[in-house]
Every structure is written in structure tokens, then in C-alpha cells.
Copies of this chain bind each other. A is one copy, B any other.
Amino acid sequence: MPRPRSEDRRNAILRAATRVIASQGLGAATAAIAREADISNGSLFTYFDTKAELLNELYVALKAEMATAATPDLRAGDGLREQVCRMWTQWWRWAMANPDKRRALAQLQVSDDITADSHRAASLAFSGVADLLERSRANGPMQNVPLGFVLTLVNGIAEATIDEMIREPAEAEARSRVASDALWRVLAGSAAPPTA
């Protein structure tokens, strides 16, 4: 029995790719990623057949991680407003805590190497978030548009806010509250603050 293909090694490559892509962009050499993962350049290709495959898997993995981080646990008794608030908080906390992942994602998102399948898989990971948004927009001004549009919109607002938070980390908490209110206004149309 040979040395088994190791899940650890595979993850090490994905982590290394995240770091290298965050700092050098998608043009980063596979050899650089391998070096960062402490493996030989040839070894990378036993885990990912091509660079494009590595990028696709990384994209889906990062999106899924982000989605998981954002998806709020179901706590009985919480109102929708609270749930949205918690989701949003979890989302930006993850983003602020993982700047490399966010930067890598920004590059991957617009890459031609990312297939339609990967984009689909990434969307699927957001179903928990989508469920919450579906309930939140139910009787509001967004009730008649496709849920996908709502998701896109919320994502746009979230990312824009996180960009600002990164520019001014000291004000992150303050911005968070402003953004949370804005989000709710977009979804539900009223500015009622969450019951504290």
C-alpha cells in the first residue's frame, strides 16, 4: 500500500492557493502555490489535474465557506429582523477575519476559468441565506422579483460595506449597524430597528 492520497495535502494546496492568489492574483504560478504548500510542483497535479480545476475547486470551497459562515443557526423565538442581523454580522465577521479568502474570491469571481457549473455550485451553498431572504422579503417591496435578484442585491450591499470596513476597520461596528438597517429597508421597506 502506497502513501495514500492525503486530504490534508489537498487542503494545504487550497489554503496555499488562497494566500498566493490573494497576494499575486490569478496569474500566480502553480509552482508558487506548490512552494507555499510545501510540496513539489509536480505533486500539485496529482491533486488537481489542471490549474483551472484548482481554481474552480477553490472558488466553490471559498464560496461555500463564506455561505456557511453567513448562514444563521435557527434559534427558536428569533424574529426575522434578528436573523437577518445575525446573518449579516456573521458574514462580515468572517470576511474581516479572512481577508485573503475574500481577495482570492474577488479575483476568482470574474475569472473566465470559472465554469458555469462552479457558479451554480456556489449559489447552491447560499440556500440557507436565500431561505432567510425569502421570508424577509415576503410582504415587502421585493416580493415580486426573483429570489436570485434579491440575493445578488444583498450580496452587492454586503460586499460594498465590507470593502468600506476594510478601508476603516476602526469603524466596522458602526458601519455594520448602518448597513444592517439599510439592508432591512431594502428587503422589508421599513426602518424599524431590531428589538434589542
Task: Indicate whether A79 reaches chain B with its CB closer than 8 angstroms.
Answer: no
Q: Can you tell how many copies of this chain the complex includes?
A: 4
Taken together as a complex, chains A and B put the C-alpha atoms of A160 and B160 apart, in Å, by: 11
Contact A110 B112 (CB under 8 A): no
- Provide the A62-86 mask, 1 if CB < 8 A to any CB of B, else 0: 0000000000000000000000000
Q: Are B185 and A164 in contact (CB under 8 A)?
A: no
The answer to whether the Cβ of A182 comes within 8 Å of any Cβ in the partner chain is: yes
A168 to B42, CA, bound (A): 43
Interface contact B189-A25, CB-CB below 8 Å: no
Residues of B within 8 A of A106 (CB): 110
CB-CB nearest in chain B for A188: B185
Among candidates B152, B164, B189, residue contacting A148 with C-beta atoms closer than 8 Å: B164
- When the two chains form the complex, which single residue of B107, B152, B167 contacts A164, counting CB atoms closer than 8 Å? B152
| Cα-based distance from A153 to B110 in the complex (angstroms) | 19
Among A24, A142, A153, A159, residue most surrounded by chain B Cβ atoms (within 10 Å): A153
A109, A156, A175, A191 — which one has the most chain B CB atoms within 10 A of its CB?
A156
Check A163 against B159 for contact (C-beta < 8 Å).
Answer: no
Q: Does A111 contact B (CB under 8 A)?
A: yes
Neighbour of A145 across the interface among B2, B157, B175, CB < 8 A: B175
Taken together as a complex, chains A and B put the C-alpha atoms of A155 and B159 apart, in Å, by: 11
17 more A-B residue pairs beyond the given contacts A2-B40, A25-B112, A156-B159, with a C-beta to C-beta distance below 8 A:
A2-B42, A24-B112, A27-B27, A106-B110, A107-B110, A141-B181, A145-B178, A149-B161, A149-B175, A152-B163, A153-B157, A153-B161, A153-B164, A155-B160, A157-B186, A182-B185, A185-B185
Q: List 7 A-B contacts (CB under 8 A).
A: A109-B110, A141-B178, A149-B161, A149-B164, A155-B160, A157-B160, A185-B186
